[in-house]
Chains A and B, each alone.
Chain A
Amino acid sequence: MTIQMIIDRNNVSKVSDSLQYFTTLVTFVWKEIYFVKYKKTFLEIEDVLTASIFYGYSSHHFKLLKDKIGSGHAGGTTFRVLTVAAVGFWGLPPFLDPQKYKTLPIPGWFPYNATEYYYPTFAFQILAVANTAYTNSTLDILSWVLMSIASGQLEMLKETLKSMNYEEADLKTAEEQLQKCVRHHLEIVNLVSKIEKVFSKGIFLQIFASVIVICFTGFLMMLVPVASMKFTHTFTYLACMMCQVAMYCWYGHDVMTTSNTIGDSLYMSNWYESDVKFRKSVFIFLEKTKKPVTLTAGGFVTLSLTTLTTILRSSYSYFAVLRHMFNDV
């Protein structure tokens, strides 16, 4: 595929055709490399999740956690469906479109004549792409579900804080409860930092690649006639890529906003009934919760909905530039 791209570098449309898959593939390879490199930290995450502070809550609390994990799974399922659709639409054109008979889905340069050994090459390509798509989506869904677990734990913490009743509790029980909440908060922050360590660099590359892919796919969609199979495929692929980057930003944003409102939920309890000595500990806790728990990509790009709008805006501007270039040619 690399060689094909180099041969065809003067023809913008052909380059963009292969560039989208190429970028995705390269990103995927890098994500895998980083994941394997931080394998130890990932196993540490598993250990952190078994910490006792995360358990021992009422079913009402667990319902909050389950809702969040449910939404994580829903996002993951949508993405999976889109990937399957994209791979399906991509594999079908050679069979359904009589013009494209015996052409390979991904343009590539092979050391042998591809048309002679068409079916094995086709099968090889299909298998390769399906495998890549599946593993890529698994990695993404894994990080999304972990993020939704973190935000579910934060919701549970908020619920505990909101329902603490200071009227009947004496100083000692109130202090113990607050200590438990503080330890819970610390563990969640620890969990999120570990998640970030494992996935951060991969997400950064993913964002970078998504900008390029979205812009090139948009450009391709403009070239291809609307009624063909290729258009449907390009459209599903675009939807896939956008969904991928949007999900990262969405779950990161979710963690950030939930952690922002921990202080609010403590305020919503009847703290004014509590002892003056106790309020001093509350104050220190509130100071810490003022800083939101953020997930970053590569250390400086925070995952949030603002980042998503920036990504979409930059893709659009590159797309406009590309279109202008194409019209001039």
Chain B
Amino acid sequence: MMKFKVSGLVADLMPNIRLIQGSGHFMLNYHADNSGALHTLRLGYCCVTLVFMLLQYGCNFVNLVLERGDVNDLAANTITVLFFTHCITKFVYFAVRSKLFYRTLGIWNQPNSHPLFVESNNRYHALALKKMRRLLYIIIVWTSFSAIAWTSITFVGESVHTTKDPENENLTISEPIPRLLVRAWYPWNAMSGMPHMLTLIFQVYYVFFALAHANLLDSLFCSWLIFACEQLQHLKEIMKPLMELSATLDTYVPKSADLFRAPSATSQDNLIENDYNSKNEDLKGVYSTRQELGGHFRGAALQNFGAGGVGPNGLTKKQELMVRSAIKYWVERHKHVVRLVTAIGDAYGVALLLHMLTSTIMLTLLAYQATKITGVDKYAATVIGYLLFALAQVFHFCIFGNRLIEESSSVMEAAYSCHWYDGSEEAKTFVQIVCQQCQKAMSISGAKFFTISLDLFASVLGAVVTYFMVLVQLK
């Protein structure tokens, strides 16, 4: 048995992963002990969860078919069935495509690093971690709150439904049905007593786990996006020092040791010595900003500069290599982020497409249901609850998708706003190609049909409001 060591994204997302495993998703990696017996046990747990989910979903569906006579009941049951269709879809989708998820989680296992930029990297990494934790807490609170609200609203009001009066065809009477969270058909009589209690508990488990399945996967997706955005922020931040470092290639270069020592407040005059360049009188003012450069170069590895021959531009070989390696680090890190975003899109794109399909139909029906609200009662509360939950789910991933688009398109601005005109020819062509590449923003698409952004959320919200207005007019 190998010693279990987590790194990269897996280490960052461990609480997320543990919750996902706890809720019964088919994520069977990332355990310290993956021996045969424990693995089978975990697999068994997942399969049992799947069976329970499908059974209850089947009961819901049977109920839908049985009660299709009454239009109101049909609409309400269809909404419930669609809601849980989405949860089951996410569950099955993960089980089927778990390899892509593992690949995405493993992409950041070996990131490159550069001594100059370690501090910035760690800072943004910590920021990403904080945001991911915060998101996870919000999701947990929201899911638990929804489940508790659903359970409590079951006990409010009458538990009846209307059917045709057997004596008089035109009248409807109300007939009592079991007081349960979701209307479902059971082969046993769940009206009262022990069966009712057990069924109620089973339904609470079902609702809570179904909500958890859907929301936890969404939060995993959004955590990945948070990480990618923070990496882009890191890249934007190190662009300026990189430019200024590369400015030393062609223009003035101070004594190598001075470059990497924190300058004291009084020694500004001594910092810049015109040993090799004669035409730098006008640049003296610019390079008094050595302080900010000095702040980045405190690594111990840089102390032994000064050895080695002098290059053609007045730079030592080591300095030239340092600049080249910094550019290489930047480009490789950016390429790594692009690879991560592509992997995220491959892993989750189809799930988003299916989500949007079910949500669209469900929201249309909810708009229809909303026109029948006649005051503040249980019906209004349930309809508004469904509506808010569905819209919140769509908003959840739209906002992070939008942030990714914004961050990736602002890399070009960062590249332009650093002092590229001071840089060497090599740095300028580097900026040129980076600007070219970053003109097109990185975005997640729902299997190529649409892009995930706040525009999508706005169009969904607009469509719901439009249907509602039209249906209210038609009434």
Contacts and interface: CB of A to CB of B under 8 A. Distances in A.
Interface string B315-342: 0000000001001100100010010000
A279 B432 contact: yes
Interface string A254-281: 0001001001100110111100100110
B449 interface: yes
B327 A272 contact: yes
A290 B324 CA distance: 27
A264 B328 contact: no
B223 to A, nearest CB: 25
B112 to A, nearest CB: 13
A267 B426 contact: no
B433 A276 contact: no
Contacts of A264: 338, 437
Interface string B414-436: 00000000000110011011001
A279 B449 contact: no
A263 B327 contact: no
B448 interface: yes
Contact of A286 (B328, B331, B335, B436): B436
Interface string A274-299: 00100110110011001000000000
A283 B436 CA distance: 8
A305 interface: yes
B295 to A, nearest CB: 25
Contacts of B324: 272
A253 B426 contact: no
B439 interface: yes
Given A272-B327, A276-B425, A283 B335 contact: no
Interface string A41-52: 000000000000
A282 B440 CA distance: 17
A48 to B, nearest CB: 28
A283 B429 contact: yes
Contacts, number: 46
A272 B449 contact: no
B426 A276 contact: yes
B335 A272 contact: no
A272 B430 contact: yes
Interface string B392-434: 0000000000000000000000000000000001100110110
Interface residues of A, number: 21
A139 B328 CA distance: 50
Contacts of A287: 436
Say what secondary structure dominates the interface of chain B.
helix
B429 A280 contact: yes
Which of A267, A273, A309 neighbours the largest number of chain B CB atoms within 10 Å of its CB?
A267
Given A272-B331, A305-B448, A283 B439 contact: no
A182 to B, nearest CB: 16
A309 B449 contact: yes
Given A257-B448, A290-B439, A305-B448, A271 B425 contact: no
A262 to B, nearest CB: 12
Contacts of A286: 433, 436-437
B338 A283 contact: no
Nearest to B434: A267
Contacts of B439: 290
Contacts of B437: 263-264, 267, 286
A268 B331 CA distance: 9
B449 A268 contact: no
A276 B335 CA distance: 20
A167 to B, nearest CB: 10
Contacts of A272: 324, 327-328, 331, 430
Nearest to B442: A264
A305 B449 contact: yes
Contact of B335 (A268, A273, A280, A290): A268
A158 to B, nearest CB: 13
Contacts of A267: 335, 338, 433, 437
A295 to B, nearest CB: 16
A305 B449 CA distance: 6
A279 B429 contact: yes
A271 B448 contact: no
B250 to A, nearest CB: 11
Given A257-B448, A267-B335, A268-B335, A282 B425 contact: no
A24 B424 CA distance: 64
A191 B209 CA distance: 54
A253 B433 CA distance: 27
Contacts of B433: 267, 271, 279, 282-283, 286
A321 to B, nearest CB: 16
Nearest to B327: A272
Interface in B418-475: 425-426, 429-430, 432-433, 436-437, 439-440, 448-449
Nearest to A274: B429
Contacts of A279: 429-430, 432-433
Interface string A147-176: 000000000000000000000000000000
Nearest to A306: B449
Contacts of A260: 440
Contacts of A253: 448
A153 to B, nearest CB: 21
Which of A257, A268, A287 neighbours the largest number of chain B CB atoms within 10 Å of its CB?
A268
Contacts of A280: 429
B60 to A, nearest CB: 25
Interface string B12-23: 000000000000
In the complex, the 6 A-B pairs of residues with the closest C-beta atoms, listed nearest first: A279-B429, A286-B436, A276-B425, A267-B437, A272-B331, A272-B327
Given A286-B437, A305-B449, 16 more contacts: A260-B440, A263-B436, A263-B437, A263-B440, A264-B437, A268-B335, A271-B331, A272-B324, A272-B328, A272-B430, A276-B425, A276-B426, A280-B429, A282-B433, A283-B433, A286-B436
24 contacts: A263-B436, A263-B440, A264-B338, A264-B437, A267-B335, A267-B338, A268-B335, A268-B338, A271-B433, A272-B324, A272-B430, A276-B426, A279-B429, A279-B433, A283-B429, A283-B433, A286-B433, A286-B436, A287-B436, A290-B436, A290-B440, A305-B448, A305-B449, A309-B449
